[in-house]
Structure formats: C-alpha cells, structure tokens
Structure 1
Amino acid sequence: MSIEVTTTDDAERWNELLTDTPRATGFHHAAALSVLERHTGATCHRLVGYKGEEPVGVFPVFTTRKGPVTVAVSPPPNVKLPYLGPRMLDRQQLKRRRAEKRNRRFVDACLEWLEAEHDPDYTSIRTTPGYDDVRPFLWQEYDATLRYTYVVDIDREPDELLSAFSTDARKNVTDEYDVNYELAEGDADDIDLIVEQVRERHAEQDESFELGSDLVRDLYESLPEGVIRPYVCRIDGEFTGGFVNVEFGGRGICWIGGAKPSVDLPVNDLLDWAYITDARERGVESYDLAGANNPRIARFKAKFAPELVPYYALEAGSRTMTTLTKLYGSLRG
C-alpha cells in the first residue's frame, strides 16, 4: 500500500503524533513551528504520511521565496536550530525490510508533495540524530554531508558521570571557589542577557549572529512550561554567563549560549553540571552538547565523555543555487 502525504493545521493532533515519534525535538512541537513561522516569514507545512488510516511519519518543512527563487528548508535559516527534518513514528516494531520500505515511501511521498505544491529551486534539510537512513534522499539526487553532535548519557548516578569526565572537567565542577557565585534556572529576562552575550562574542570574532532574543522569548512563552530552559551564572548578583537549553521527550539540547566570560571561574563547566544534575531529577536521559563540528569547541565538549553521534545535512538544487548558498549562506540554517 502506498503512503499518502497530507498537511495538518491541527496542533493538538500533530503534537499527539510526536508522542509516538522517537527523538522528536522541542522544535518539532506545533507551538515552536508557529513561532518559527512568525519570526522567519516562511510558511510551515506540517506533513503527515499515512498508510491507509495509519500515520507513519511527520516532516515539518518551511517554504519561502528569495526574489525569483523558491526555497524549502527544515529547519529554517538564521535561527540557529541544529536540526529538524523528518521523523518516523514508532507504534510497532518493524523488521528492517519493512522499516526501510516505509521510510523510503514516506520520504518519496513528501518530496513528491513538495515538488507538486511548491517546486523548490533549492532544498536544505538537517536530520535529527537517530534518523540514520537518508538513502531515500540520495536516491532522489540529494547531496549529503555527514555532521556530528556530542550526546552524554545522563541516566546514571552522579558519581558514575563524574568518573567518566576528564580530570579537569571533574575538578572544575567539584572544586570550591572563593567567589560568591550562583547557578540557577533563569527566566525570560535572562534569555535577553544570554542572547546578547552570544551576539557580543560573535561580534568580537567578526562573525554575524542573526538570532534575536524576541524569537527565543516567544518560544519560551509559547511552548509548554519546561521545554525552553535558560540557565545562568551570577557572581555577586550580576549576570556572568548562561545558556538556553531545549528539553523534550526525555532529551536535553544545549541550544544557545556558552560564551566564555572574562572571569576566573569555569562558568560553562559549572552550568553544564548544574543542568545535568537538575535534568536527571526530571527524568531526562540524554544531553546533546552540540559543538562537535567546530574543532575549537569540540575540544571543550569532549571532556564530558560524550558519544559522537552523526546526523546529516541534505541539499538539492541546481549547481548554481548550491554554489550561491555555500558562498552566502543565506538559505541555510
């Protein structure tokens, strides 16, 4: 039986499907997709694949026009989302042959829908970790680039976690410091401070940072409580550093922040450990540290003994369009 793809504007139904979708992220939530749509100006299509009446997969994809060019992206550009893309539902254990056939038919149906409805000149997709079979895209002449992230298994006792850390990471999070500092979960106002600190850090390195704190605040206020979690460090009551994490489906993602402050305190190590210990108590099982694709950041992240986990950046379009995106990066995330 073939797979039929439809779009749904029913947020409740979409979110219900996510509960059967392993490794869906907080960015897949209907409220997050609506926020991204508002702030990027792109149109979000919540694609759902059905085999008869049985839902088999979900795929949020955004379309927009850049002059005469139609673009399809998942996630949308310039919002610093690490990944989005399709996810298969897991309502039954399928043998490999059936699972592969279902994945291929779902992807083919989604791409056929996209071609028929929007005929994009360029398409960019970044899959979530755990979505490993991207061959249906390759068979449709997509280019694939292997990417990586770091994921820490935090479903362990604190002592076991600490013993796996490097010596300096373990020392940094357990030492006592002659500094009056506080680590705590923050609020919407702290989001502004975190985003601005990251923007300033990028400016110091002559790099652009287009993500606005208004989008992050909107996500904080629109998503269910606890999905967007800012964590901050204060010294003598003054903001020193922080990051914004995304927590959904038993997994945490380090999203924004971690700019190195000019203080004699391992702020980022302490913040990561504070989040890990809190998240464990909430039943979170894994923590995506990100940063594995940047040599400088990877050296810092690797000391937490994470697993190196792959995901994929997929592109399709004319050679001219692909070259332009590599030169200007305006259509990528």
Structure 2
Amino acid sequence: MDGIEVRELLPSEYKEWNLLVEKAQPGTLFHTSEWLEICRDVLSKDLRIYGCFRNGELVGGCPLFVKNIKGVLKVASSTCKMTSYSGPLIKESASSRASKRIQETHEILNPLREFFCKQGFDSIHLTFAPGFEDIRPFTWNGWDSAVHYTHYLSLKENIDGNLSGGRQMELKTATGAGLKTRVSNDPETYYRLLSLAYEKKNLEPPLPGGFYDRVFKLIQKKSAGYMFVSETPEGEAVAAHINLYGKKCAVIWTSALNPDFDRLGSNALLYYNEFLDLRSRNFEYMNLMAANIPVFVDFIMGFSPELIPYYSVTLESKKYSAAKTLYKTTHKETY
C-alpha cells in the first residue's frame, strides 16, 4: 500500500475537498469549505483544511480552526460556535470486508494524527461527526476521548404512536390556537425570534445576524436545507427551525422561539410537521441535535428518538494543561 502524504490544502483545492465531502460518510455541510469560510470570516478565525493524499488522490483530511492565545499557546479545534462537529473524513471504502475497511481507515488516520502532532499545537481538539465510529488511531496513541450524543428520529416509525402525553397535549394546544407551519426563506424572521429568546435571558445571541444571512445564502445556493416556521392565524412567526440536509437525514441545526408564545405548542408542531414533510420526501431520519443540552432533552424525548453517540479526541501539551489549571484556579478564587 502506497504511503499517505498530509499537507494543508490551497484554496484552489477546496473544490476537490468539497467533492470528497459529498462522497465521504459521514461528510456534512459543516465540512464544506463554504461553511467553514463563513465561520472563519464571522468569528475571525484562522482556517486550515488539511488533506491526506495517496498517489496524488485526496482520500481524507480534516479542517481546523487555529488560534494563538497571547502569542504563547497555539490551539486548534475542528469545531466552533454553531458547528457541533466537523472532524476527520476519509474516502468511502470499496471493500465489503470489515477488516479491510478498518485497515484503510487506520492507514489514513494514523498519518493524519502523526502530522498534527508535529505542528506544534499546545492543544488540539477533534470532534467526529455521528457515524464515524473508529477513533482508535487517536486513543491508542495517548489522546483523551469523550462521548457526546445526538438524537435520531426514524422517519419510518409511526410518529403518532410514539408521542408522549405532553407532546400530544402541545399539538392539541397549537391546533386549537390556529397555528400553522410553512417554509420560509427570510433570515430576518429567524434572527428576530432568536434575539427575543436571548433578550428574555438578558443575553446577546451567540452570533451576529450576518452569520445567519450567509448561511441562508449558502443553503439556497446548494439546495442544502430550509427554514420551517410556526405562525399565528394573523401570520406572525412565533417559532422557527433551520434544517440542513444530510445524505439520508435532515439535521435540525438550530431553533428559535418567541418566549411569549412558548405555551402554545409551536415547537412541537414544527417537529411534528417536519417529520411528515421529510418522510414524504424519503429521508430516513431526523438528527435532532439537542441531546447534550439537559434543558432540551425532556422535550425531545417526547418524540421517542434513538440516542446516538459520537466522539471527540483531545491532545494537550504540559504547558497547556498547566495554563488551564492556573486559569481555573485563578477564576475560582476571583469568584
């Protein structure tokens, strides 16, 4: 087997990277150069996409956001705000044998890991997309690992038979209030709802409105998703979901709700009608994305989804670990 060369991709090679994302499982919109560039620009981050080549063919890779902290610490992460995962990808194996697929995975991930270890990062954190299960090339070599969760809601199930009593009551309330759902392409509607929700908590939204404007344009350009809203009979939007298309699923990426209408069941109505809509278009499941946030878990469990793990790995230098410990101690004393 010929060796793997790992190097940073040139912007002129991003088209080739996006073709890999389309073919790789589990390549997602979060892995595409267009998405990563939006995050780079809005968050003022240093983006680098590293490619793994075999005989000149791109067969894997990983995007990283790199940051220098006060010129002392160099840290890297495959994720950022509003991007839960965007870690390593590898080309799909053509083999039907599990042992061969594992071998090919390790033949790509091992050189990638070794390359990252030579880049002088004081901390590097990689979060693998759900469906990427074999992280052993990292854990066998001293990287720490963590498990995260998402929820998959099968679109082949009988949703009415799986609803909890609480969700059934919310749907009845929403119907009684005359709420309707529809597709919308107006990012201002979403950002208004998001701002209202954060104002209720005396907080600023996690990202500026310009971020969502650019995401909407990307979604429309690539036909990669849509926004679903709940409206009052008067046409006022009271809740919204932005959904991104995956290979077999739709990812419920983010939601926003006018807190003045949180007792009308508008969020439950969105999930229910999204289920029916996506099933009619032959998607296999919905990725509900909220399993790591305790306040959302009870609500989501009312739809009887399946709990799905995904993984992250981290490697820290002694200098970074010492700085992190000092930071925690200092802030604890200050508090």
Q: Under a length normalisation based on structure 1, what TM-score does the superposition of the two structures give?
A: 0.85
Q: For 2:277 and 2:148, how far apart are their aligned partners in 1? A: 29
1:5 paired residue number? 6
Compute the displacement of 1:5 (Å): 1.8
Q: For 1:248 and 1:149, how far apart are their aligned partners in 2? A: 15
Alignment partner of 1:127 is 2:124: no
1:62 paired residue number? 65
CA distance 1:310–1:55, shift in 2 (3 Å): same
CA distance 1:55–1:91, shift in 2 (3 Å): farther
1:218 paired residue number? 214
Compute the displacement of 1:100 (Å): 2.4
Compute the displacement of 1:301 (Å): 0.7
2:76 paired residue number? 72
Moved more, 119-128 or 228-237: 228-237
User: Aligned residue pairs: how many?
Assistant: 319
Compute the displacement of 1:133 (Å): 1.2
Q: For 2:289 and 2:240, how far apart are their aligned partners in 1? A: 15
* 2:167 and 2:302 in contact (8 A); partners too: yes
Q: For 2:307 and 2:328, how far apart are their aligned partners in 1? A: 25
Q: For 1:38 and 1:327, how far apart are their aligned partners in 2? A: 33
Alignment partner of 1:245 is 2:243: yes
Moved more, 272-281 or 27-36: 272-281
CA distance 1:139–1:36, shift in 2 (3 Å): same
Alignment partner of 1:103 is 2:105: yes
Aligned 1:146-161 pairs, distance under 5 A: 146-154=147-155, 156=156, 160-161=158-159
Q: For 1:87 and 1:27, how far apart are their aligned partners in 2? A: 12
* 2:124 and 2:316 in contact (8 A); partners too: yes
Q: For 1:41 and 1:304, how far apart are their aligned partners in 2? A: 38
Alignment partner of 1:291 is 2:267: no
1:108 alignment partner AA: N
1:243 alignment partner AA: H
* 2:174 and 2:264 in contact (8 A); partners too: no
Cα offsets for 1:4-27 (capped at 9, x unmatched): 223332232222112221222111
2:333 paired residue number? none
Aligned 1:197-236 pairs, distance under 5 A: 197-201=196-200, 203-204=201-202, 209-223=205-219, 224-235=221-232, 236=234
- Rg: which structure is higher? 2
Q: For 1:16 and 1:321, how far apart are their aligned partners in 2? A: 40
2:35 paired residue number? 32
CA distance 1:103–1:225, shift in 2 (3 Å): closer
Q: Under a length normalisation based on structure 2, what TM-score does the superposition of the two structures give?
A: 0.85
The alignment partner of 2:175 has SS state of coil
* 1:11 and 1:30 in contact (8 A); partners too: yes
* 1:74 and 1:126 in contact (8 A); partners too: yes
2:194 paired residue number? 195
Compute the displacement of 1:170 (Å): 4.0
Compute the displacement of 1:174 (Å): 6.1
2:217 alignment partner AA: E
Cα offsets for 1:175-223 (capped at 9, x unmatched): 773324231222222232233134335x35xx66532221122121134
* 1:198 and 1:259 in contact (8 A); partners too: yes
* 2:230 and 2:239 in contact (8 A); partners too: yes
* 1:153 and 1:286 in contact (8 A); partners too: yes
Compute the displacement of 1:311 (Å): 0.8
Moved more, 104-113 or 283-292: 104-113
Compute the displacement of 1:101 (Å): 2.8
The alignment partner of 2:260 has SS state of coil
1:270 paired residue number? 269
Q: For 2:112 and 2:85, how far apart are their aligned partners in 1? A: 18
CA distance 1:122–1:51, shift in 2 (3 Å): same
Moved more, 129-138 or 161-170: 161-170
Q: For 1:179 and 1:208, how far apart are their aligned partners in 2? A: 30
Moved more, 288-297 or 25-34: 288-297
Moved more, 256-265 or 7-16: 256-265
Compute the displacement of 1:266 (Å): 0.6
* 1:191 and 1:213 in contact (8 A); partners too: no
Residue ranges of structure 1 left out of the alignment (5+ in a row):
329-333
Compute the displacement of 1:257 (Å): 1.8
CA distance 1:252–1:200, shift in 2 (3 Å): farther
1:19 paired residue number? 22
